[in-house]
Amino acid sequence: MTTLMNTYGARTLTLTKGEGSRVWDDKGNSYLDAISGIAVCGLGYSHPALTKALTEQVGTLIHCSNYYNIPTQQKLADLLIEQSGMDKVFFSNSGAEANEAAIKIARKYANDKGLKNPAIIVTSNSFHGRTLATLSATGNTKVQIGFEPLVEGFIRVPFNDVAAIKAAAAEHSNIVAILVEPVQGEGGVRVPAANYLNELRAIADANGWLLMLDEIQTGNGRTGTFFAYQHNGILPDVVTTAKGLGNGVPIGACLARGKAADVLQPGNHGTTFGGNPLATRAGVAVIETLLAEGLIEQAKVLGDKLLADFKTRLAGNPKVVDIRGKGLMIGIELNAPAAELMDKARAKGILINVTSVNTIRLLPTFILTDAEANELVTKVVELVTEF
């Protein structure tokens, strides 16, 4: 009997090693990891630049509290500012904590202005984390059931529905911010209309709201730009990221700009582990490697090719409802629940994910070779055809 809490159900696979885009189990079987640890390992496994940086840092100083200066934290903040156009960074341990920081910024921004009982617009089908505030913001009742009462102060509207946000603005005078994912990941890799973020920016400006983007999954190059909002030529007021930033070392970041940048003051927020030397050294190595090896551009090229190949090879397949994606976030929506495909994929030597009940979610590494990309397409097409 396991002494672990039963939060993840049965786990039958034990991974012991990773290299490049592949992982191995304790029986010596290898798998092409097409979800890269749920959008975490963009650089793949055992990347030499990250291994070198972490080895050096472990031998020097793993942890230092935020009572003191942390040079790697400042360096990572500077790199993120250069890539994002934002002004200030707060480091946390995870994406959920980064979103908690964003929610606190919105609430304090409102209270500083004298707005009582502030509300944040969030969307259906979204996923923002599993802490009490972020699961309350999440638009999936399955993760909320059993944890009531939820945190108040969220107004939910359909995703990709600008009219619904305008209607909410007309009905509620206490709205202070909009919080959305540029592409919904957990919700089934749902890509909104091309100008959706531009329209949200305009609405936020017109109403004096903060535009807050959850880029926990889309950040760090996954969609083909460092942040997904850069496809739209806009700047949010707050953006959060995590997953790919540490390539496996836990780290999250909340970035803010302009009127949102100085909302949090000493004593308003903090963390013991967030932004420590090990995590931020990892983040620095990840960003420097992404830039030096041209991997963000590669994510776009590779993602476009995979999407086109899937659309060609699965054209006319009656089991396929839709194929969509942006960069290396690809979703193949099927016409029935498809969780069984994860085990069947494993038997073929690839790791995939099924999310939103019936959507195959693919989040491969940025270093996928042409041969591995062809292997991924061939095996997923086989799975869908046999489904």
Write out the binding residues for N(2)-acetyl-L-ornithine. 130, 271
| Cβ contact 307:102 at 8 Å | no
Binding residues for pyridoxal 5'-phosphate, by number, are 95-96, 127, 214-217, 272
Give dist(CA 38, CA 127) in Å, integer.
14
CB 210 within 8 A of CB 263: no
Extract the tokens encoding 274: 């967030």
Cα torsion through 232, 233, 236, 240, rounded to 10: 70
Q: Which of 339, 336, 337, 350 is nearest to 381 (CA)?
A: 350
Say how far apart CA 340 and CA 74 lie, in whole Å. 45
Q: Is 271 left (phi over 0), alpha (psi -120 to 50) or beta?
A: beta
Count the helix, strand and coil residues of the chain and give each as a percent rounded to the nearest 5.
40, 20, 45
Q: What does the alpha-carbon distance between residue 55 and residue 138 come to, in Å, rounded to a whole number? A: 37
8 Å CB contact between 193 and 160: yes
Beta strand segments in 188-273, E = 210-214, 238-241, 252-256
Evaluated on CA atoms 242, 245, 251, 256, the torsion sign reads: negative
Which residue in 237, 107, 100, 256 sits closest to 175, CA to CA?
A: 107
The secondary structure element, H or E, covering residue 91 is strand 88-92
As a whole number of angstroms, the distance between CA 302 and CA 296 comes to: 10
- Residues flagged as binding site: 95-96, 127, 130, 214-217, 271-272
